[in-house]
């Protein structure tokens, strides 16, 4: 039996007669609760010992594929798309069932750099798919940024050529950079100031320091020094200036960020000479975060939720700062869309 689709010849062969023939596509095995993956790879030459395995996965026939003019096999198409779209610092996995994963080849965490308009244009073409992380998402070493996928077994080569043209046009407008890329995070030495009379006096144990350390160390940076201060504006200003003199890459201040009259941290940050980008973010949790710059050094006032919530506005802004971005008021405003994180 044979059939045509888009010029492709599919020849059906009983599995018992398939010894010596070459598989046209990957064959997947599913063992519920135990395994799902490739049993045989495209291009595998079928041996006599393979027949029971093929029957076990319900394959009583196999198909021999002959491509028509202007057609591509799913694996070849997926790889060509990924090659066209990727930028430096990325690696591609071997094609598998029409999919290619695009992963970080860096040995440090990085920010995803993804052009949404290219992603949408690729997916408008039909029969092919491009799935990505959102731009500015954190990608750990070896982590996945994107994946290309071809839906049918065979796709017109013109679809892939359209993707290649989209990528080429993007590179022409962006100095040769591809639409899928990474921005590596720098290693920062951070000065941490914890305010609050209850911690300063030793009445309660500091919870902010360990929380901040966990977050920054996960991204490859370090808290180089932690200082403590009571809720006194002038003392906080003095400690900020001390940390500034140490030339730390960032200054982080915890505690005293609410609207309670006893909380003096926002006024102290301004009093130290910082330019305040925003006191407050349209994100929950983390709406009371303060973002500013002190003579070019990022300075943040962190709200109490950083101690106990797994994802706050600090987790959003910190990677961008480590990647070298200058945070603007527009960046803060944009955090409201998708900025509700509930447990």
Tell me how far apart the alpha carbons of residues 53 and 323 are, in angstroms, rounded to a whole number.
50
pLDDT string in tens for the chain (343-residue length): 334 344 455 678 898 988 887 777 778 888 888 888 888 887 777 889 989 999 999 888 887 766 788 999 888 999 999 999 999 999 999 998 899 999 999 999 999 999 999 999 999 999 999 999 999 999 999 999 999 999 988 899 999 999 999 999 999 999 999 999 999 999 999 999 999 888 888 889 999 999 999 999 999 999 999 999 999 999 999 999 999 999 999 999 998 787 665 568 999 999 999 999 999 999 999 999 999 999 999 999 999 999 999 999 999 999 999 999 999 999 999 999 999 998 7
Question: Do residues 60 and 15 lie in contact, with contact meaning Cβ atoms separated by under 8 Å?
Answer: yes
Question: Do residues 252 and 212 lie in contact, with contact meaning Cβ atoms separated by under 8 Å?
Answer: yes
DSSP 117-144: HHHHHHHHTSSEEEEEPPTT-EE-TT-E
The model's pTM: 0.85
What's the pLDDT score for residue 305?
94
Q: What angle do CA 323, 326, 328 make, to 5 degrees?
A: 135
What's the pLDDT score for residue 256?
75
Cβ-in-10-Å burial (0-12, 13-18, 19+) of 35 comes to exposed
Enter the tokens of residue 304.
């109490």
Question: Cis peptide before 285, with omega less than 30 degrees from 0?
Answer: yes
The total of other beta-carbon atoms located within 10 Å of residue 292's CB is 22
What's the pLDDT score for residue 32?
85
Using the 8-state DSSP alphabet, how is residue 340 labeled?
B
Closest residue by Cα to residue 343 from 313, 319, 308: 308
What's the pLDDT score for residue 202?
86
What's the pLDDT score for residue 6?
46
Closest residue by Cα to residue 256 from 224, 239, 282, 233: 233
Tell me how far apart the alpha carbons of residues 248 and 230 are, in angstroms, rounded to a whole number.
22
Tell me how far apart the alpha carbons of residues 265 and 223 are, in angstroms, rounded to a whole number.
20
Euclidean distance between the first and the last CA atom of the chain, given in angstroms as a whole number: 55
Closest residue by Cα to residue 77 from 97, 91, 63, 102: 97
Continuous H helices in the chain: 51-56, 74-85, 116-124, 157-173, 197-200, 208-218, 233-245, 265-271, 313-322, 329-334
Bridge partner residues of 276 (DSSP): 292
Query: Domains plus CATH for the chain?
Result: 2-66 (3.90.105), 71-184 (3.90.1150), 189-334 (3.40.980.10)
What's the pLDDT score for residue 9?
54
In angstroms, the Cα distances linking 67 to 10, 64, 82, 160 are 9, 10, 21, 15
What's the pLDDT score for residue 262?
57
Bridge partner residues of 101 (DSSP): 147
Enter the tokens of residue 262.
């006893």
Enter the tokens of residue 100.
């290619």
Enter the tokens of residue 10.
């599919």
Closest residue by Cα to residue 274 from 245, 304, 229, 237: 237
Tell me how far apart the alpha carbons of residues 280 and 335 are, in angstroms, rounded to a whole number.
11
């Amino acid at each position: 039996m044979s059939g045509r689709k888009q010029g492709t010849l599919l020849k059906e062969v009983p599995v018992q007669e398939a010894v010596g023939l070459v598989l046209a596509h990957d064959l997947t095995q599913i063992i519920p609760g135990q395994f799902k993956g490739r049993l045989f790879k495209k291009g595998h030459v079928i041996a006599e010992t393979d027949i029971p395995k093929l029957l076990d996965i319900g394959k009583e026939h196999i198909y021999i594929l002959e491509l028509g003019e202007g057609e591509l096999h799913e694996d070849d198409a997926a790889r060509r798309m990924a090659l066209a779209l990727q930028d430096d610092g990325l690696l591609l996995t071997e094609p598998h069932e029409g999919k290619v994963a695009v992963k970080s080849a860096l040995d440090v965490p990085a920010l995803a750099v993804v052009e949404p308009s290219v992603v949408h244009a690729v997916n408008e073409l039909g029969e092919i798919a491009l799935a990505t992380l959102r731009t500015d998402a954190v990608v750990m070493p070896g982590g996945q940024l994107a994946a290309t996928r071809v839906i049918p077994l065979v796709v017109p080569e013109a679809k892939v050529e359209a993707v290649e043209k989209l990528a080429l046009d993007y590179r022409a407008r962006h100095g040769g950079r591809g639409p899928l890329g990474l921005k590596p995070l720098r290693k920062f030495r951070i000065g941490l100031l914890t305010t609050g009379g209850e911690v300063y006096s030793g009445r309660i144990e500091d919870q902010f320091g360990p929380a901040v350390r966990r977050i920054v160390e996960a991204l490859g940076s370090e808290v180089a020094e932690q200082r403590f201060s009571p809720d006194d504006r002038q003392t906080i200003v003095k400690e900020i200036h001390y940390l500034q003199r140490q030339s730390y890459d960032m200054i982080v201040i915890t505690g005293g960020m609410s609207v309670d009259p006893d909380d003096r941290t926002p006024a102290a940050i301004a009093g130290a000479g910082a330019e305040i980008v925003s006191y407050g973010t349209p994100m929950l949790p983390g709406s009371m975060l303060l973002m500013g710059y002190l003579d070019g050094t990022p300075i943040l006032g962190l709200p109490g939720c950083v101690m106990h919530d797994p994802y706050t506005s600090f987790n959003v802004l910190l990677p961008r700062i480590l990647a070298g971005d200058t945070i603007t008021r527009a960046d803060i405003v944009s955090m409201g869309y998708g900025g509700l994180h509930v447990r």
